[in-house]
Structure 1
Amino acid sequence: MPATERERTYTWSDPASTAGQHVSLSGLEFIRALAEGALDHSPSARTLGFRVVDAGHGTTTIRLVPAEYHYNAVGTVHGGILTAILDSAMGFAISTTLPEQTGYTTLDLNTQFLRPVSIRTGPIEAVGSVVHIGRATATARGEIRTSEGKLCATATTRCMLFRPDRSP
C-alpha cells in the first residue's frame, strides 16, 4: 500500500546574520538572545523544529514538539533528532559560561535512549547542564524529559574551547 504524501514548508534566516554575534556577546547573552527571540535560531534548529526557551549560567533548556517529520521507520522520533537536541542543549549550556570571543565545538557525545518519543508524548524539553569548564575543554550532561517529567534520554559531551587569550 503506497504511503500518503505529506508536505512541510518552513523558513529560516540567513545564518550570516547571527554568525558573528557570539563574538561580540558573552555566551550567556548570546543564548538568552536566542531564547528571547532577539537573535534568530540556526537553520538546523528551524529544520528540526526546536528552540531555546531558557538559559542561565551553566544551563540551557530546548523545547521540541514531536511531529511526523521527526519519525524514523518504526514510527517514533529518530534518535539522531533527540541526539541533535541534546548536543545543542549541552553545548549551549557550556556557552553560557564563556566570555565573549570564546567558542566551542563538540569533541565527543554519548546518548542513551530510555523510552520512545512520539507525537503522543507531547512536548519534550532537553536540559543541558555544565559539569566542568577547563582551559581547553568542557564537559556537560543532558536529559530529555516529557512535560510529565518522564526521562526519555540522557547524554554527556566533551567540547573543545577556543579562547582568544589561550597561550601555549
Structure 2
Amino acid sequence: MGRSRTVDWEDPAVSAGAVGQHSGLDFLREMQAGRLPAPPISATLGMTLEEVEYGRVVFALVPGEEHYNPIGSVHGGVYATMLDSAAGCAVQSVLPQGTGYTSLDLNVKFLRPVTVDTGKIRAVGTVLNSGRRTALAQAELFDSADRLLAHTTSSCLLFAV
C-alpha cells in the first residue's frame, strides 16, 4: 500500500509583496511569528524557521521517508534546500529596508547520511561578509547531537527592491 502526505500552504505573493516594506530582519521575524506566510517550500519539506537574529538564522526539519532518495537516505537536495535557505536568510537578516538578495552560488559538502532515525536536523546560517553588492554566508547542518552533517558557502547578489 502506498503512503501519502497532504501539503497546505498560503499565497506566496503575500510575503513576496512585503519584502520591500521591512528590513530583512523584521521581515524574517514577521514570518517566524506567523504574521507573514512562510514560503511554500517550507510546507513542502516540513521545514520551520526556528531562530532569527541579525546575521544568523536556524531552520529545522524532522526527516521522513518523503525526503528519501532511491538508496534509502535523505536526498541531497533536501540538505541543499535547508542550507540554501539558512545561508540566504542569514544574508536577508542584515539587509536594510528596500534591499533584496538572490543566491549566486551554493557549494555544498555532504559529510554524513541522514535517515528517519537521525531525528531533528538544524541548518544554522551565518553571514561571513556583507558588502554593497554581494554577501558571503555559510550554513552548517547538524543533528541533535550537534554532529556536522553538511556544510555550504553561498555568495549572494544584493539589489534594490
TM-score (norm 1): 0.93
1:152 matched to 2:149? The reply is yes
C-alpha distance in structure 2 between counterparts of 1:68 and 1:104, whole Å? 32
Asked whether the 8 Å contact 1:36–1:53 carries over to 2, the reply is no
**Cα offset, 1:116, TM superposition:** 0.3
1:130 matched to 2:116? The reply is no
**Cα offset, 1:163, TM superposition:** 3.0
**Cα offset, 1:72, TM superposition:** 0.3
Q: Which amino acid is 1:124 matched to?
A: I
Deviations 1:97-117 (A, max 9, x none): 001111000001000000001
Return structure 1 stretches of 4+ with deviation > 6 angstroms.
none
Among 57, 62, 67, the residue aligned to 2:59:
62
**Cα offset, 1:10, TM superposition:** 1.3
Q: Which moved more, 1:32-41 or 1:94-103?
A: 32-41
Match in the other structure for 1:105: 102
Q: Which runs of 5+ in 2 are unaligned?
A: none
Q: Which amino acid is 2:11 matched to?
A: D
**Cα offset, 1:29, TM superposition:** 0.5
TM-score (norm 2): 0.97
Q: Which moved more, 1:34-43 or 1:144-153?
A: 34-43
Deviations 1:118-160 (A, max 9, x none): 1100000000000000111000011000111111000000000
Among 49, 53, 61, the residue aligned to 1:52:
49
C-alpha distance in structure 2 between counterparts of 1:109 and 1:125, whole Å? 18
Aligned identity (percent) is 46
Q: Which amino acid is 1:127 matched to?
A: V
Q: SS where residue 105 of structure 2 aligns?
A: strand
Could you say what the CA RMSD is over the residues aligned between the two structures, in angstroms?
0.9
Asked whether the 8 Å contact 1:64–1:124 carries over to 2, the reply is yes
Match in the other structure for 2:22: 25
C-alpha distance in structure 1 between counterparts of 2:78 and 2:50, whole Å? 18
